[in-house]
Structure 1
């Protein structure tokens, strides 16, 4: 399959395409900021929180692609793109996200190795749910209903984790990452407090960060939740089975591709992490055909059904706690 993908040129970088995406996103961000300044200290300014949240998600997708070397093969350029789009524009640590996300890609849905399914506010298996007490027990019992409301806090949570991770980083990296994170907070809060009164600035920030977190939740929820989870004590899966069986694709057209940042081709992305985003759609029929040939189930569903499957899994995990 790798030879076929390479023969079709699907691993070649798309520098011009990404240049247009990065430039377009920067211009759109500048446009929203300009609109905020022109509207001034008015409650009408809160209408710009939604488009800014969407553009923040676009920025996160660019940072994600840079971290996977989809944009460029040069590590220094890729890191610079990640630092600008992550630390500076979003307040999200590029180093922290990359380390965490690479561990996820290496062992998706593995309870002991994938940080995305580690027991925290949410749990993803009956074993994780068993020992929950107090508030965490209540959260687990109701986690399917609480999932999307909880994503409203994700934008702030990512910033908190980013600052916390600075202690783990080497001194030089910590200095660069920390300075850019502080620069983001200063620029973001300075802009809002300069244009808006404190009350309106707080309302704008709360609405914007909540919608940003929700958008990220909508983009990442369909990918793996409710899919196969490797048994830590069971047979070891090869790379193809490990990546395909734990991932779910979402059907759709250009709008779905745009809204989900190409992550709707999760199977192809996991098999070929450095494949440029616009090539994922072209790789899909090749991957699907190969999976059919070797007898590996290839999961693809609609957007709404993908959310239903993910929430159904969370509901089933919490069922034992509701029956006691």
Structure 2
């Protein structure tokens, strides 16, 4: 089952958690005080670059007469769409640039170039997901309501198709996010009239997006309309797959833990910080990959400080990683390939009923609770007379892995 006692799982005392919270508050305070013209210039340059790349790519698609030219233009358009979606749209809608008081770069006015309505996404993502991160029955992003990514989700026969559904979701990710945001917004509306209005808003946005990509731009291309339509469709699919890959690698690899609703009872700000650190995962990236992912390779830092400018996440990550070392907490990261393979393993494995799985529901790579350490606590107490020798979660996980290897070797010898 998911984690219920977060301090117990993290092997931290209440005083430790409070101290961790103060240090994270200090990071927030420092970055908030430092942000200024350098950050404003960064987002303005990014928007300008994205728009120029979009325009140039479309001209190459229409103007070139070779297959290589079409491929180059389509690739450029896919990159432009990815930048707009992740480094610009996602982060602007989080309010990361609201402090600039620029009405054109503000979370309340930005409408991104994808199927979903920004306002609907802001509720489902900024509130439902970021406030209740990985809390069962509260965070709708746990499998997005269609995927089984933890054993806490009851198996149903439809999950047998999950591996195929995963491929379909990757290719149509923007449409899935649009529906996800619309349903979240409808659920909080008190009247049927308001619910219907939300549905109409999403349909209107879908129509505008489809009209732009598959009617307007092809029409402007004249006799070469098929070339433009194919490029737009291809760029959209490539952008969808990339966004899917980045998002899934930040939320579903091993180490991105899930929590029961009980953790929300009387949760303090430091405990919220701790839940974000345990419930998310990073992937290793240099400057270019970080930029192309919207700096969501720093998913841990993003969840700790979702409204701080994304160009600051690299420097924030150094300080967060130092805190993980100080408090003996895991800093969950790995290569993009590694993190996705772990995610893919979970998706394929949990397509099966629990009776075909080997690990327990408290001690599986994708599903864990504080009870995974029960045997280790008993053994430590038996060996030393006290459990005081246990340190933080990172050491506890290492000791548990070592103990399991010793038990396996002993069993093989007998």
Aligning the two structures, in what range does the TM-score lie when normalised by the shorter sequence? 0.7 to 0.9
Structure 2: gaps spanning 5 or more residues: 1-22, 358-414
Q: How do 1:204-283 residues align onto structure 2 when only pairs under 5 Å count?
A: 204-226=231-253, 227-233=256-262, 238-283=271-316
Q: CA RMSD in A?
A: 3.5
Question: How far apart are 1:149 and its partner, in Å?
Answer: 5.2
The superposition leaves residues 261-300 of structure 1 with CA deviations (integer Å, 9 ceiling, x where unpaired) of 1001111111111111111100112112223323332212
Deviates more, 1:103-112 or 1:189-198: 189-198
Q: 1:209 to 1:163 in 2, by over 3 A?
A: farther
Matched, 1:302 2:335: yes
The superposition leaves residues 121-175 of structure 1 with CA deviations (integer Å, 9 ceiling, x where unpaired) of 3211224352x23xx23313xx2x7634530121343455677789766999999
Structure 1: gaps spanning 5 or more residues: none
Specify the SS of the correspondent of 2:260: coil
Partner of 2:46: 21
Q: Of the candidates 157, 173, 184, which is equivalent to residue 154 of structure 1?
A: 173
CA distance in 1 between partners of 2:40 and 2:202 (Å)? 25
Partner of 2:120: 96
Partner of 1:37: 62
Deviates more, 1:91-100 or 1:241-250: 91-100
Question: How far apart are 1:36 and its partner, in Å?
Answer: 2.5
TM-score by length of 2: 0.66
Q: How do 1:36-55 residues align onto structure 2 when only pairs under 5 Å count?
A: 36-39=61-64, 45=70, 47-55=72-80
Matched, 1:70 2:96: yes
CA distance in 2 between partners of 1:291 and 1:270 (Å)? 15
Partner of 1:192: 218
Is contact 2:115–2:175 with CA below 8 Å preserved after alignment?
no
* Structure index of larger Rg: 2
Specify the SS of the correspondent of 2:153: helix
TM-score by length of 1: 0.82
CA distance in 1 between partners of 2:318 and 2:263 (Å)? 31
Is contact 1:151–1:214 with CA below 8 Å preserved after alignment?
yes
Is contact 1:104–1:114 with CA below 8 Å preserved after alignment?
yes
Q: 1:161 to 1:243 in 2, by over 3 A?
A: closer
Q: Of the candidates 57, 73, 94, which is equivalent to residue 82 of structure 2?
A: 57
The superposition leaves residues 7-57 of structure 1 with CA deviations (integer Å, 9 ceiling, x where unpaired) of 355762511111111111111111112223323798963553232122111
Is contact 1:228–1:246 with CA below 8 Å preserved after alignment?
yes
Partner of 1:79: 107
